Amino acid sequence: MKKPAALSLGLKAALLSFLILMLLIGIWHTATLPRTVAAVKMTPAEAEYAKMLGKSTTEGTTKASDFPTPRQMGETALKSLADPFYDKGPNDKGIGIQIGYSLARVGLGFVFAAIVAIPLGFVIGMSPLLYRAFDPFIQVLKPISPLAWMPIALYTIKDSSISGIFVIFICSVWPMLINTAFGVSGVRREWLNVAKTLEVAPLRRAFLVILPAAAPTILTGMRISMGIAWLVIVAAEMLVGGTGIGYFVWNEWNNLSLTSVIFAILMIGIVGMILDMAFARLQKAVTYSE
């Protein structure tokens, strides 16, 4: 009986989202319509220079908006998506290749962070003494901007790509570590006491009792970490250059292609949404509900 109601709610939400999107596009279209402006009185020399630039010198000049219109954005999106994996040199690669480089860096940094944070979080969460001992270090290191580590990474590693992965590792490790420790420490004592009564081995207890109970909280930390990692990689690639969606945005800005910049921003948001939805599904799959 609940499924039709949920389906109806989903359709209503989708319809409302579509209407909001149409409203935003309508506002965008209206704001970028050409408008008539009075031409400034020019000297003969200024008028000649304006003609050379292709500008009108008559009164009531119709001026197009400097900001891209929805139609221009659509044309840019179709052109970019028609061949997203082309490679014409270091500074001319398709949007698909650039996103691929960014996802690879995010994936490597995220995996390394999970390998460190989840086991360490287990150990800290199972020991109140270690929880208190590590807490001051976590609280000091957690608020530091990941990009603040970039100069140190470049100086020590001396490789921009690996430095980007290191920055992703640094920004991903803290949410996972904190949520894992919190989830493990919050496992019901009754379950642990039953496992102790049954003389379950510590390793078996960790995998069969603690991990299933703490899994939703651990995945929450992983979801937060992925969101931060995807956010940070764009800024990191702007700094180190070379490849990646962040470098693509910066390179298109230097080429004065505002439509490509806005298209890349939209692609960043869409990829981030897909990553978040994937972790949300994993989190829902391991969450117990009656």
Q: 101-126, pLDDT tens digit by residue?
A: 999 999 999 999 999 999 999 889 88
| Tens-place pLDDT, residues 196-226 | 677 677 677 777 777 888 888 999 999 999 9
For the chain, how many structural domains are there in total? 2
Residue 255 sits in the same domain as residue 116: yes
Q: For position 5, what pLDDT does the model report?
A: 60
Determine contact, residues 99/267, Cβ cutoff 8 Å. Answer: yes
The answer to the question of residue 26 being in a domain is: no
pLDDT of 65 > 80? The answer is no
User: Residue 208 carries which side chain, given as an amino acid letter?
Assistant: L
Residue 136 sits in the same domain as residue 46: no
Residue 47 sits in the same domain as residue 177: no
pLDDT of 98 > 60? The answer is yes
Closest CA to 6 of 220, 14, 285: 14
Residue 91 sits in the same domain as residue 166: yes
| Tens-place pLDDT, residues 227-279 | 999 999 988 888 887 788 999 999 888 888 889 999 999 999 999 999 999 99
Residue 59 sits in the same domain as residue 175: no
- The band of 56, judged by pLDDT with boundaries at 50, 70 and 90, is low
The answer to the question of residue 3 being in a domain is: no
Q: For position 191, what pLDDT does the model report?
A: 67
Q: Which residues form the domain of 159?
A: 82-286
Give mean pLDDT, residues 37-50. Answer: 64
Q: For position 29, what pLDDT does the model report?
A: 83
CATH number for position 259: 1.10.3720.10
Give mean pLDDT, residues 181-187. Answer: 85
- Which has the minimum average pLDDT: 60-64, 153-157, 164-168, 218-222? 60-64
